[in-house]
């Protein structure tokens, strides 16, 4: 089915029961906030709804989804994904549901429309915007606990509302959450200001080892596993660390390469308005948004090789842009 409307998505959920919600690998505030809000909303209208356990969940986002883990006897009749662009982002325990997704709710322009019904709004700053609209069309009351989940989704995916993907709808959604009783200041402080000691050490390593290319328009940071393990940093400590490369004046493309435990490398790309991050990552088998995208390399590609590949893709995007002007 092609892209459906918010109203149609709400109708599908109102007709459904025994609903399972799935979040993506390496879950962030958007996928977990959306899942937490939607599950709480469905339960408010007496739906039997659960969120599939995510083995990658970190302590920061655990409270959003952990209370809604299904019991062993639960069999879903309707399956929803939140903030997932493609099935290759499914966790291992979710892969058995590939081909069985009833509703996809997302905001990535690269979404492969893998659901029987797909609600995709690429212009949304966060998937939380879309989920909030669905919840409202279901006639659900925006309680404080639901609003907190939505606020986390909106805030984290827009960098505390300072990234260029922040839209008027993002801010209107945040305002609704504040009106529902959310303490936005405290949430923002916890998510964006307070740093653990491992996070502080990782930031120092990034600034000490950052490399540059293309007249310092491209900044590349490498997070080696030995440094991550030495500092004791976990996924919460590394959350949003990719944005650091873009803070330097003159940098248009910030690339952060992170070595995973199995030796594979994850690339996170953040750009300014001059460059399309998604175009860079798509050349490496990934995708995402115009200003924020990512790609993954297998264990056979080490950090230095990943560096060469992502830098080559970046320079190719620059050449293509120059050829069009």
CATH number at residue 17: 3.90.1640.10
Question: Percent of the chain scored above 90 by pLDDT?
Answer: 82
pLDDT at 243 over 90: no
Cα separation, 114 vs 3, whole angstroms: 11
Q: Tell me how crowded residue 323 is: count the other CB atoms within 10 A of its CB.
A: 7
1 inside domain: no
The pLDDT score that the predictor gives to residue 68 is 98
pTM for the full predicted model: 0.82
Residues 117, 252 share a domain: no
Q: CA nearest 233: which of 205, 262, 266?
A: 205
Q: How far apart are CA 222 and CA 195, in angstroms?
A: 20
Confidence of residue 3 (pLDDT cuts 50, 70, 90): confident
Confidence of residue 94 (pLDDT cuts 50, 70, 90): very high
- How many structural domains compose the chain? 2
142 and 249 in a single domain? The answer is no
Residue 228 reports pLDDT greater than 60: yes
Same domain for 217 and 173, yes or no, is no
Q: 110 with 43, same domain?
A: yes
Q: Are residues 151 and 201 in the same domain?
A: no
Instruction: Answer whether residue 1 shows pLDDT above 80.
Output: no
**Mean per-residue pLDDT for 74-100?**
96
Q: Tokens standing for 140?
A: 């659900």
Give the distance, in angstroms, between the CA of residue 144 and the centroid of all CA atoms in the same chain. Answer: 23
Both tokens assigned to 17: 């029961």
Give the per-residue pLDDT at 113.
Answer: 95
How far is 61 from 29, CA to CA, in rounded Å? 7
Residue 155: burial class (beta carbons within 10 Å; 0-12, 13-18, 19+): buried
pLDDT for the residue numbered 325? 66
Of the chain, the percentage scoring pLDDT greater than 70 comes to: 99
Same domain, 209 and 272: yes
Mean pLDDT of the 296-320 span: 95
pLDDT score of 20 more than 90: yes
Chain segment 130-171, per-residue pLDDT in tens: 999 999 999 999 999 999 999 999 999 999 998 889 999 999
Closest by Cα among 107, 98, 95, 162 to 132: 107
For residue 123, the enclosing domain spans: 6-192
Average pLDDT, the chain: 94
What are 26's two structure tokens?
């390496």
Are residue 178 and residue 204 in the same domain, yes or no? no
As a whole number, mean pLDDT of residues 91-114 equals 95
| pLDDT exceeds 60 at position 14 | yes
Q: What would the pLDDT profile of 110-119 be if each residue is shown by its tens digit?
A: 899 999 999 9
Strand partners, 119: 105
> What pLDDT shows up at residue 324?
78
Mean pLDDT calculated for residue range 186-199: 92
């Amino acid at each position: 089915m092609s892209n459906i409307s918010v109203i149609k998505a709400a109708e599908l959920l109102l007709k459904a029961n025994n609903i399972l919600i799935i979040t993506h690998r390496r879950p962030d505030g958007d996928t977990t906030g959306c899942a937490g809000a939607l599950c709480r909303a469905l339960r408010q209208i007496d739906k039997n709804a659960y969120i599939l356990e995510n083995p990658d969940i970190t302590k920061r986002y655990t409270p959003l989804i952990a209370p809604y883990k299904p019991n062993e006897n639960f069999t879903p009749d309707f399956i929803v994904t939140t903030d997932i662009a493609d099935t290759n982002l499914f966790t291992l325990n979710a892969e058995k549901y590939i081909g069985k997704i009833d509703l996809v709710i997302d905001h990535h322009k690269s979404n492969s429309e893998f659901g029987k019904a797909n609600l995709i709004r690429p212009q949304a700053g966060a998937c939380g915007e879309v989920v909030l609209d669905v919840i409202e069309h279901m006639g659900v009351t925006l309680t404080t606990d639901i609003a907190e989940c939505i606020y986390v989704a909106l805030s984290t995916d827009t960098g505390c509302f300072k990234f260029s993907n922040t839209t008027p709808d993002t801010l209107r959604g945040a305002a609704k959450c504040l009106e529902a009783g959310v303490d936005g200041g405290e949430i923002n402080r916890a998510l964006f200001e307070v740093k653990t000691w491992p996070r502080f050490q990782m930031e120092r390593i990034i600034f000490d080892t950052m490399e540059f290319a293309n007249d310092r328009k491209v900044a590349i940071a490498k997070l080696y596993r030995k440094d991550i393990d030495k500092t004791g940093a976990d996924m919460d400590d590394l959350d949003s660390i990719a944005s650091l490369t873009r803070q330097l004046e003159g940098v248009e493309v910030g690339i952060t390469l992170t070595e995973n435990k199995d030796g594979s490398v994850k690339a996170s790309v953040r750009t300014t308005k001059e460059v399309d991050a998604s175009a860079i990552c798509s050349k490496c088998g990934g995708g995402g948004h115009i200003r924020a995208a990512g790609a993954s390399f297998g264990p056979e590609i080490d950090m230095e090789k990943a560096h060469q590949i992502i830098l080559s893709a970046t320079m190719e995007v620059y050449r293509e842009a120059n050829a069009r002007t």
